[in-house]
């Protein structure tokens, strides 16, 4: 049996900006309105459910809240140099330099900030919040960069 939670319909999303150094268009600082989705595949448990919708939505919202209204930066990039000093985040990438207030930036343990990498990041964070029983076989987490355009990460459990 499969559970599906649609972030657009549930109002579970976030707005953030990022850039992709080296990409023709996306190397410019720009933003998206994102949504988070989950598909959970498993068998019914003793309660007659695959998993509690409330717990899934809470985990999705926690991730959305962490990323909302932030400048997302890749903390593990070889192309992006990030220096934090005096409450400022100074970022250099392929000849461009940015400076942001530290409170506006979320430095993620990723090498790039793409929908694909954000889907993997969100899946890891969501799995970390849930106690998934032996009845759960698979989780898929999607991140959309607008309606109709997104990426999915999945894991067999």
In a domain, 85, yes or no: no
94: left (phi over 0), alpha (psi -120 to 50) or beta: left
Reading the chain (157 residues) residue by residue, the pLDDT tens digits are: 999 999 999 999 999 999 999 999 999 999 999 999 999 999 999 999 999 999 999 999 999 999 999 999 999 999 999 999 999 999 999 999 999 999 999 999 999 999 999 999 999 999 999 999 999 999 999 999 999 999 999 999 9
Residue 58 confidence (pLDDT): 98
- Pairing label, strands 13-18, 88-93: unpaired
Let me know if 63 is exposed, middle or buried by CB neighbors in 10 A (0-12, 13-18, 19+): buried
Number of domains comprising the chain: 1
Query: Could you give the CA distance from residue 91 to residue 96 in angstroms, rounded to a whole number?
Result: 8
CATH at 26: 3.30.479.10
Active-site choice (18, 32, 70, 145): 145
Query: Could you give the CA distance from residue 140 to residue 156 in angstroms, rounded to a whole number?
Result: 9
Active-site choice (17, 26, 39, 66): 26
Q: Could you report how far apart the first and last alpha carbons of the chain are, in Å?
A: 15
pLDDT in tens, 19-65: 999 999 999 999 999 999 999 999 999 999 999 999 999 999 999 99
Query: Could you give the CA distance from residue 152 to residue 154 in angstroms, rounded to a whole number?
Result: 7
Domain that holds residue 123: 2-72+110-156
Contacts of residue 116, Cβ cutoff 8 Å, sequence gap at least 6: 151, 153
In a domain, 96, yes or no: no
In a domain, 146, yes or no: yes
Q: Check: CB of residue 135 under 8 Å from CB of residue 50.
A: yes
Residue 79 confidence (pLDDT): 94
In a domain, 39, yes or no: yes
Residue 146 confidence (pLDDT): 94
Provide the sign of the torsion angle of the four alpha carbons 100, 75, 139, 48, taken in this order: negative
Looking up tokens 């934090």 gives 84
Helix axis angle, 53-67 relative to 115-129, nearest 10°? 130
Residue 47 confidence (pLDDT): 92
In a domain, 82, yes or no: no
- Catalytic site residue 39? no
- Catalytic site residue 103? no
- Catalytic site residue 69? yes
In a domain, 10, yes or no: yes
Residue 97 confidence (pLDDT): 97
In a domain, 90, yes or no: no
Active-site choice (9, 30, 69, 102): 69
- Pairing label, strands 150-156, 136-144: antiparallel
């Amino acid at each position: 049996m499969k559970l599906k939670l649609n972030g657009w319909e549930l109002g579970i999303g976030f707005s953030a900006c990022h850039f992709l150094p080296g990409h023709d268009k996306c190397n410019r600082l720009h933003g998206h309105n994102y949504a988070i989705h989950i598909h959970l595949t498993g068998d019914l448990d003793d309660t007659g459910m695959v998993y509690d919708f409330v717990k899934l939505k809470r985990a999705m919202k926690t991730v959305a809240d962490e990323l909302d209204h932030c400048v997302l930066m890749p903390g593990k990039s070889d192309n992006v140099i990030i220096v934090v000093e005096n409450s400022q985040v100074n970022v250099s990438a392929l000849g461009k330099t940015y400076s942001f207030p530290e409170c506006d930036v979320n430095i993620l343990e990723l090498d790039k900030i793409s929908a694909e990498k954000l889907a993997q990041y969100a899946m890891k964070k969501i799995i970390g919040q849930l106690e998934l029983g032996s009845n759960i076989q698979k989780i898929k987490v999607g991140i959309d960069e607008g309606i109709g355009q997104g990426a999915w990460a999945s894991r067999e459990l």
